[in-house]
Amino acid sequence: MNDARTELTLGPNLFNWAPDRWRDFYFRIADEAPVAAVYLGETICSKRAPLFDEHYEAVAERLRSAGKTVVHSTLGETASQIDRRLVGEVCQRVSELVEANDSSAAYHLRGRQHHIGPLMNVYNEETLRFLAAKGARNICLPAELPFASVGVLCAAAAAEGVTIELQVFGRQSLALSARCYHARAHGRTKDTCRFICDRDADGLTLTTLDGKPFLVVNGIQTLSYEYANLVQEVPALKAAGVARYRLSPHSCDMVQVASAFRDLLDEEIAPPEALARLEALQLGAPFANGFLHGQPGHRWTSAESLI
């Protein structure tokens, strides 16, 4: 049985996968992954959203039938009329939960229960209380917050009847831009991209002048090259009051990732075993937990270090 205080969730897919691959990924999540909630929807580029329309409702129904809560995520940036229309359409799902990833979605959702995504940058108690007053009932914090700030926000959330969620696995979102880096890297523009981002299942790696991997781009989004991995910090996060633990989808075996975190949250395994199971996936990029330790986000800090 899952601890009611510690739900495992799967965030929205950030990347442009082929529609059939996208569908099959979520079908397997529905059937095999021990996650309580799944966030669906395009959060990066409104041009991608129609690619998955054919499968969206079938995926949502498969997840619901498997007992998982479906939360519909909105775009993280609205820069055009098309973007605003997509955000409005997602927010019109009045009988279902929606996660706002920018203020335009939060405006549509005011007065009804909803979630706040990590792209909304909730950094302090006043922001949390303001959003709670508008109907937010779950807030996923941005990746760059240190542990002390997470603890303060957990205390403020408890007073407002709000749950706190935190990404514990996956590349970390660092910035959004009006320009499409993927298109520019291939000599194209945002309007003439021809969906070039579909070549990179986990984002396009950027390197420094001396060839060192540095960052990852995903359309208009900049991500960390490293994969966040907070297995060592889960006990402290539970003690601080974090209720929901988010995994960000990647092309690796996400069922195995989810199983490792669920076993850890249920205290069936200890952090070293969870870490070993994730290391066995051989992701091709290092793990990082620096942000939570108040250090540069690309760093990895050992379990012996105090948070």
Over residues 23-41, the pLDDT tens digits come to: 999 999 999 999 999 999 9
d(CA 172, CA 69): 23
> Given a cut of 80, is residue 214 above it in pLDDT?
yes
| Phi, psi at 58, each rounded to 5° | -65, -40
Task: Give the pLDDT of residue 157.
Answer: 98
Whether the CB-CB separation of 70 and 64 falls below 8 Å is answered with: yes
Domain total for the chain?
Answer: 1
Domain hosting residue 86, numbered range:
7-172+226-282
> How much is the average pLDDT of 254-281?
97
Could you give phi then psi for residue 100, rounded to 5 degrees?
-85, 130
What angle do the packed helices 271-279 and 254-265 form, to 10 degrees? 180
Q: Is the Cα dihedral 70, 127, 151, 221 positive or negative? A: positive
Instruction: Give residue-wise pLDDT tens across range 71-124.
Output: 999 999 998 999 999 999 999 987 899 999 999 999 999 999 999 999 999 999
pLDDT at 128 over 70: yes
User: Length of the chain in residues, anyone?
Assistant: 307
Task: Assign residue 55 the CATH number of its domain.
Answer: 3.20.20.60
Confidence of residue 190 (pLDDT cuts 50, 70, 90): confident
3-state SS class at 176: strand
Q: Which amino acid is at 202?
A: D
Question: Can you tell me the distance from the alpha carbon of 264 to that of 249, in angstroms, rounded to the nearest whole number?
Answer: 19
| pLDDT confidence bin for 307, thresholds 50/70/90 | low
Q: Tell me, yes or no, whether 268 lies in a domain.
A: yes
Token output for 41: 């929807």
Is 237 among the domain residues? yes
Comparing C-alpha atoms, which of 169, 175, 229, 230 is closest to residue 206? 175
Cβ neighbors of 19 (< 8 A, separation 6 or more) are 51, 52, 54, 55
pLDDT higher than threshold 60 for residue 249: yes
Residue 144 within a domain = yes
- Judge whether 18 and 198 are in contact, CB under 8 Å: yes
Give the integer Cα–Cα distance in Å for 123 and 109: 20
Contact 89, 82 (CB under 8 A): no
Residue 142 falls within a domain, yes or no?
Answer: yes
Is 212 part of any domain? no
Does residue 154 fall inside a structural domain?
yes
**274 vs 42: CA distance, rounded Å:** 30
pTM for the whole thing?
A: 0.95
End-to-end CA gap in the chain:
29
pLDDT digits (tens, 9 = 90+) for 139-187: 999 999 999 999 999 999 999 999 999 999 999 999 999 899 899 989 9
Find the mean pLDDT for residues 271-292: 96
Confidence of residue 302 (pLDDT cuts 50, 70, 90): confident
- Does residue 180 fall inside a structural domain? no
The answer to whether residue 203 is domain-embedded is no
